[in-house]
Structure 1
């Protein structure tokens, strides 16, 4: 009997969003403290599932509003992905990461999924995030979206 190579499937069923807001000339990152059983009390950026009929960027817009109440922001694709391996289901999960620049007057109104929020410097956020790899995403975002101006071709969804 011949043994063939077995592939571990990739699944992209969700998105992640890193929100940035300027405070005293410094961009800060929004982190949310999880209140649901999955990742209870973990500090994370925004994440959620893609619903039927949505594009990934449309899911990002919806999740930001649902989780934070924020509606005025510019959204960009980062060309970076959150990723992890699920040993229980034997698949690799990938989620495109988006970056949102939040308007000054926008306040955070949390939904039931989160108990607290913080606007943190990148260094503070990197120390707070719970999942391995989140620190790499934040370092990437700081380099390409704070220290450099993102290319307009990365902008998605028009002006929100």
Structure 2
């Protein structure tokens, strides 16, 4: 399926930079950050890429249930595969696009169920259940147009096979 692309200017207030924790790399990657006031919980990252999933159905469960391992297991059992072929799993983190080092989170997966801060790295996708899913593109407009163009080419290629 075709993935919508949402463009943000690099200097927009909700764009931050995530510095790679690997001292040999240290590259900074722009990332969209949800605010602490947002309802972006629970969210889960892919074990292979930096895509993230946030579903209303899981959010509803947080309000109806005690937050514990049992709830986490229940949600985890229903998480789909990521479009990249990896899996959305509790405890996974976004990864540095250059060296693949994880941006490790200090909390365990159960505690992270109600963490609203959800970084989406430039070029990564947010997968949602009720609303459309989209890829985040941060930076110049030409970069955005180029992404749209290459996206269109890939979906054309897929249509033929």
Q: Is TM > 0.5 for Structure 1 vs Structure 2?
A: no
Q: Where on the TM-score scale, by shorter chain, does this alignment land: which range?
A: under 0.3
- Structure having the higher strand fraction is 1
Q: Report the TM-score, using the length of structure 2 for normalisation.
A: 0.23
